[in-house]
Each structure stands twice: as structure tokens, then as C-alpha cells.
Structure 1
């Protein structure tokens, strides 16, 4: 598999383990149009790669991914029709993660926010540095959590807890996230690489076909939930892209002031 087409994802395959690194460290790995497009295709390519049995997903530098690029959000406000591509890619990101038959491990080396959190939480097993925080603050920028957050959070921690964190956008420490079952493990930052490496090799050395088929079986109900809700979720997010509150939140962020929401 030729991964040279990827500019903002770094892919390394070593002894049947593929490590995918979100590689915008100077921007805390926030997602812009190019990275969003790449995320919409990488998991399909990994599925096709016969030299890969296990995938590790992580971020370069201090963050896993700090969410969406605010300048990209402004572009979508200025040109609402451009959000059509974003909407289609958002669905492909979620469903390609679910359709990837090989186990994918999230190595959350730093904050995972918004879409960054969604991608991490749709992975199969999630290890996070104790220094990391996880949250989905779509509402903080007047946006619907429609790119998968409204689907995966309730599956992991129940509806009441999920709605609390999706309504407020509050970030959770990795320790709290592990205690409530949102992620699997919170580990000391200095131990994260070794823990993930050990677990990835354990899966690689296991009965990979049985592991793969077990993932497929386990994901059936989750895929049903995603198919039932994704179209409506992303449609509501598309509507919120044109809302006055979203435009105000993006302007306030860029102007370094507090947003004044009016429910419009």
C-alpha cells in the first residue's frame, strides 16, 4: 500500500502493526479540510493493506487532536455549500472506522477534543496519557455534535452522562474517563508508548483472524446505531453551520472574546 499521498497523516508499518500519526503538531493536530479528507480515506486503505493486522492511531507532539480548525470553520460559514463535502467525509470517517476489521488502538498522547475525541472513541481499545483530557465541546462553538459524538458517547457511558458532557462541552481528565468507562486505560505519560506497544504486539501475535471476526461481530450493534442516527446527526450539524450562534462563536474565538449566544 502506498501511503505517500497523505500529507497530514504519517503512516509507518512495522512487523504487521501500522502506526498512524496525526501530524500537525504546530496546530495541536486540529482538523482542517485536508486532514479531514485524509481521515475519510485512511481507514479504508488500512483495511485493504494485506501487510497490516493491527493499527495504532496517535497524534504528533502535545495533542492527539484538539478538534476542528477555527479557520476551516470560518471557511464553511463563508461558503456553506463547502460543508457538503465535510458532511460526506464525516460519514465516511465514522463508517470506515467501524468497517475496519483490524483492531485499532487509540494512543491518546494528549488532549482529544471534538472530532479528535470522536475518532478516539470509535477506536476499539483506548489508552490515554494521564495528562490528556477528552471532551466534545461542539456546543461551545454553536455546533451540533453531529459528526459521531452524539452516537458514540451514549454507547460508552449511557445517555444521562453522555448528554451532560455533550450539552456542556466539559473536558474530562483521562482518569475520570477511564473510571466511567469512556476509555479503557489512563496511564502515566512516560508509560504510554510501552503499554500500547505491548498491547499491539499481543494482538499481532494472537489469532488475528479470530480477533478480526470478533471485532466484526461486536461492531454489528454499534454499526446499526450509527446507521440509524448518522444521517440525522450530520444533517443537524449542517443546519447549525449556518446558525447565527455558530458564526458568533467562531468570530468570538478569532477575536479572543466571550461569545454572546442568542439561541439563533
Structure 2
């Protein structure tokens, strides 16, 4: 393993020939941790600059979750901690922009549920292959937050504003097969066929000129990268505004308590 990957511990990084596999390693649902969040800000630049890497596979450990997003208990514990929050939103922007800037094609192997930030990580990839029964959704609104860390950028770009409104304003997720039907992801497959589908795309990419593939990806991402650089700061400012509301804490606590939330007027 090249030395450039030696300082990653919260995410697993493995290389087989020209294929680099990045694995979120917090099973069973691979919920986001502060350590993994920070490492994801760096891995895309490291992989993008590695001349030995031609394809990246991005997945989660186990079979239940690709990434379940944020931990509700940690949300409660960190509410009001502005320093921690601002570190998190700075990292969130760096992760999404980093994935879109990475010149190497990224295949998201969505082995299970991809929720919240997990959905944004999946949808920032170039090819997204999900098992049919995996849930893909951005329920920020359900925990009293604006979908500012990638959702409001990526969903409209992939499925249009009407469908983005349908799912981001309700928080309602889709199954993998429905996400594929709407064009949110590239394809959905049975769990038994997941690795074969990923391998097919890997073989396709390895058969192409690396420079042609990488420059084509860069050309395709020009528009959304421009939007990300110009607008993600404002999107995250709006998410910060929602985070400051006591209704965010109430939404999360109600979820933990399994009761209806009692929101105040704002």
C-alpha cells in the first residue's frame, strides 16, 4: 500500500492493481464519525493525485448500510457547540467538492442504506450502483435541518427540481430500484449481483485511456462544480441557521424518544 494512504484509520483504503477501494468502516450501518468525516476531506485529493489509481470503488462495510449519516445521540450532545459545528460544515463542503474534483472515476457500491450525508456521498460519485432494497434518502428536514451539506446541490442536478422538492422537503427515502427508475442513481441490482455489476464498470473504465476518462469526467462536472464552489457556502449557512433553532434539538430528541415532536413557532 502506498505511503500516502498510511494515515487513514477511520476509513479503510485498499488497492488491487489500478483499483482503489475506499470503505466506510463503522458497521453495521457505517454511521458517520468525526474521524471518518475528517479523513474523507483528504482521501479524494490523495487518490486523485495517485498515478497508479485509475478507478475508485467507494462502499460501506457489511451488508446493512452504505452510510447511515449522522448519529442522533451525537447531534444532541453537540447541539450548541459552535466550534464543532463549524468544523463539520467546513469538512462537509470539502468532502463534496473533493469528490467532484477528483479526476478518477468513482463507483459507489451502495451495499445498504444511504441516508443524509450518506446519500450525498453516494450521489457525488460518477457511477452509483445500489442493491434494490437499500433506502436512499436525505431526511435532514426530519431532524430539523436544512439539506445543505450536499443534498440541495446534488438532488436537483440528478432528478430535477420537482423530484428534489418531493424528497428533500418531505425527507421521504426511495428504495434502490425506485431511485434507479427516477435517474437518481445509475442502476439497482439484487444483492447477489452487486459485485458483478461493479466489476463490469471497473472493467469498462480500465479499458479506456486514463487521460480521456479523467478529462471527460472533469468536463462533465464543470457545471456542478461551479455551483458547488459558488453556492455550498450559502447552503451550509442555511443549514447552520436551522441547526441553531431549538426545533432541531426537539426533532432529534423526539426521534430518539419515538414520539411526535413539539415544535415552537419561528
Same fold judged by TM-score > 0.5?
A: yes
Question: Distance between the aligned counterparts of 1:192 and 1:230, measured in 2?
Answer: 32
Query: Alpha-carbon deviation of 1:191?
Result: 0.4
Match of 1:44 in 2: 45
Q: Could you list the per-position Cα deviations for residues 108-131 of structure 1 after superposition, in whole angstroms to 9, with x for gaps in the alignment?
A: 010100000001001001111112
Matches within 5 A, 1:157-196: 157-196=159-198
TM-score, with length taken from structure 2: 0.95
* 1:70 maps onto 2:72 in alignment: yes
| Residue aligned with 1:105, SS | strand
Match of 2:36 in 1: 35
Query: What is the aligned length?
Result: 263
Question: Distance between the aligned counterparts of 2:82 and 2:256, measured in 1?
Answer: 19
Q: Could you list the per-position Cα deviations for residues 203-240 of structure 1 after superposition, in whole angstroms to 9, with x for gaps in the alignment?
A: 01211110101001111011112123201101111121
Matches within 5 A, 1:44-193: 44-61=45-62, 62-193=64-195
Q: Is residue 150–residue 233 contact of structure 1 (8 Å, CA) maintained in 2?
A: yes
Change (3 A) 1:12 1:163: same
Bigger drift between 221-230 and 251-260 goes to 251-260
Query: Alpha-carbon deviation of 1:70?
Result: 1.7
Question: Distance between the aligned counterparts of 2:265 and 2:224, measured in 1?
Answer: 32
Q: 2:219 aligns with which of 217, 220, 229?
A: 217
- Root mean square deviation, CA, Å: 1.3
Q: Could you list the per-position Cα deviations for residues 1-24 of structure 1 after superposition, in whole angstroms to 9, with x for gaps in the alignment?
A: 332322221111101001111000
Query: Alpha-carbon deviation of 1:135?
Result: 0.5
Question: Distance between the aligned counterparts of 1:212 and 1:75, measured in 2?
Answer: 42
| Residue aligned with 1:10, SS | strand
Q: Is residue 128–residue 186 contact of structure 2 (8 Å, CA) maintained in 1?
A: yes
Structure 1, unpaired ranges of 5+: none
Query: Alpha-carbon deviation of 1:263?
Result: 4.4
Question: Distance between the aligned counterparts of 2:180 and 2:141, measured in 1?
Answer: 23
| Residue aligned with 1:81, SS | helix
TM-score, with length taken from structure 1: 0.96
Q: 1:10 aligns with which of 9, 12, 16?
A: 12
Q: Is residue 10–residue 20 contact of structure 1 (8 Å, CA) maintained in 2?
A: yes
Question: Distance between the aligned counterparts of 1:93 and 1:150, measured in 2?
Answer: 15
Question: Distance between the aligned counterparts of 1:114 and 1:171, measured in 2?
Answer: 10
Query: Alpha-carbon deviation of 1:76?
Result: 2.7
- Which aligned segments of 4 or more residues in structure 1 are displaced greater than 3 angstroms? none
| Residue aligned with 1:238, SS | helix
Q: Is residue 80–residue 242 contact of structure 1 (8 Å, CA) maintained in 2?
A: no
Match of 2:24 in 1: 22
Question: Distance between the aligned counterparts of 2:144 and 2:87, measured in 1?
Answer: 20
| Residue aligned with 2:218, SS | helix
Question: Distance between the aligned counterparts of 1:263 and 1:167, measured in 2?
Answer: 18
Change (3 A) 1:52 1:123: same
